[in-house]
Amino acid sequence: MSFMFCYGDCVRCHKPFSFNPERVPSVVVNGSREPLCADCVAWANPLRVAKGLPPIQVLSGAYEPEEVAF
């Protein structure tokens, strides 16, 4: 049994956090997909809604390791 997860810095607050690279919310910066931590998603969503944009949807398991088969 193996698990997949990444450990990296949030694109907004620069705090390190672990995440599932296939499910984590992200933004594109200079052509590269960069992850957003849960705290920054919670910060951004009210601002997005106030501007008439849809909130960022966090997929189930975005911040959890995922079991993978090899």
Q: What is the pLDDT of residue 7?
A: 95
Instruction: Please say if the pLDDT value at position 14 is more than 80.
Output: yes
Nearest CA among 30, 33, 62, 36 for reference residue 48:
36
Beta strands in the chain (DSSP E): 2-4, 6-9, 16-19, 26-29, 32-35, 66-68
Nearest to 23 by CA among 70, 65, 66, 59: 59
pTM of the model: 0.86
**Of 18 and 3, the one with more pLDDT:** 18
Identify residue 56 by its one-letter amino acid code: I
Per-residue pLDDT reduced to its tens digit, 30-70: 999 999 999 999 999 999 999 999 999 999 999 998 887 77
